[in-house]
Amino acid sequence: MADITEVDYIWKNGELVPWAEATTHVLSHSLHYGSGVFEGIRCYKDPASDKSFVFRLRDHMERLHRSCKIAMIDLPYSVDELCDATVEVIRANNLPACYIRPLVYRGYGVMGVDPTGAPTDVVIAVWPWDAYLGPEALANGVSVGVSSWRQRSNNAIPPAVKATASYMNSILAKLEAKQHGYAEAIMLNEAGLVCEGTGENLFIVRDGVLSTPPLSDGLLEGITRDTVLCLAEDLEIPAIEESLTRSDLYIADEVFMTGSAAELTPIGAVDGREVGKPGPVTRALQDRFFDVAYGRVEEYADWLTEI
- The residues annotated as belonging to the active site are 162
Distance CA 273, CA 3 (A): 31
